[in-house]
Amino acid sequence: MLKTVTVALLLAATVAMGGCATRRGNAALTGGAIGAGGGALLGAVAGFNPLVGAAVGGAGGAAIGAATH
C-alpha cells in the first residue's frame, strides 16, 4: 500500500514539475529533481539502495534536461 501511495505522489510531482523549465538551468534542475525522485523510487522498489538510485537518476536527469532544452 505504501509503495502505491509513493508511486502516485511521485507521478503527481513529476507531472507538476514537468512544465516548469523555461531556461537551460531550470531544465537541468527540473530534470535532476525528477530523475532523483524516480531513481530513488526505483532503487527502493527493486531492492537496491535508494540513495544510489537517486544519485544516478539525478545526474542523468540533469544531463538530459540541460541537453534537451
The pLDDT value given to residue 49: 84
Q: Using the structure block, give the residue that is written with the C-alpha cell 507531472.
A: 15
- The 10 Å CB-count burial string (b at 16+, else e) for 8-43 is eebeeeeeeeeeebeeeeebbbbbbbbbbbbbbbbb
pTM listed for this prediction: 0.64
- pLDDT tens-digit series, residues 16-38: 666 555 677 788 888 888 888 88
For residue 46, pLDDT over 80 is answered with: yes
